[in-house]
Amino acid sequence: MAYDLLKGKRGIIFGALDENSIAWKTAERVHEEGGTFVLTNAPIAMRMGQIDQLAKKTGSEIIPADATSVEDLENLVAKSVEILGGKIDFVLHSIGMSINVRKGKHYTNQNYEWTQKGTDVSAMSFHKVMQTLYKADAMNEWGSIVALTYMAAQRVFPDYNDMADNKAYLESIARSFGYFFGKDKKVRVNTISQSPTPTTAGQGVKGFDGFIAYADKMSPLGNATALDCANYTITLFSDLTKRVTLQNLYNDGGFSNMGVSDQVMEAFVKE
């Protein structure tokens, strides 16, 4: 169901890869709610994914950009404002990558060059995106910037590896930059801490299937889907959440407030 929540609003969506991506689902929902946007991803990710299909479906243009390159981001922001015909109202940062995870390096045996690359892509890129928007004065007042995160930023999930550190850094950047963006430009900045979601990126984490089943049994409402996350993001892009900023918002079926659930206990209680 559509409510025209984003009618007349313009934005940039980072990170749509394929139809499993939260960014992909968000782009579809933004389109349904009347928003227009530019799609962007790293050139290598674009070759792997099907972003062209999404652009066609939503009538959007694609601007390739490496989110770790300030030069690429400056070009992206300038072109987006030009293509969309005005300043930006919403931005989704849906980017994360760990070479240590991908290559099976244990947290206690990291390749630090890989760690640094992962931090740059997963967290520092968020600062670079916001700094570029801020310096260019490219955001409208009451605009909204959202980044996607995960609860491993607060609690230990052993196989999430250095991505946990990246997400903690990302959330801190959201608060710190969000203060200045709010005070100076009336732009709000939040992160959504999403349930484990079977995206192409998420499935790269070791033991993912077991964990997704565990989280589902722990959460009174079950795991939030990619579409649930897209819908939540829409509310944050809309004018209905004008005073919500500097928040890390859990979209996880209640998982983050659980100690243990009946369903999980059943696995340990002998009849």
Q: What amino acid positions are annotated as catalytic residues? A: 150, 160
DSSP one-letter code for 120: I
| Range 57-88 burial, b when 16+ CB lie within 10 A, else e | ebebeebbbbbbeeebbbebbebbbeebeebb
Phi and psi dihedrals of 90, rounded to 5?
Answer: -150, 150
Binding site listing for NAD(+)? 15, 21-22, 95, 167
Q: How many residues are there in the chain?
A: 271
Distance of CA 58 to the CA centre of its chain: 19
DSSP 207: T
Q: Which positions ≥6 away from 146 have C-beta within 8 Å?
A: 90, 91, 92, 93, 189, 190, 191, 192, 233, 236, 237
Which residues carry a binding-site annotation? 15, 21-22, 95, 167
- C-alpha 161/C-alpha 111 separation (Å) is 12
Q: What values do phi and psi take at 250, rounded to 5? A: -85, 125
Element (H, E) at 121: none
Report the alpha-carbon distance of residue 40 to residue 160 in Å, rounded: 26
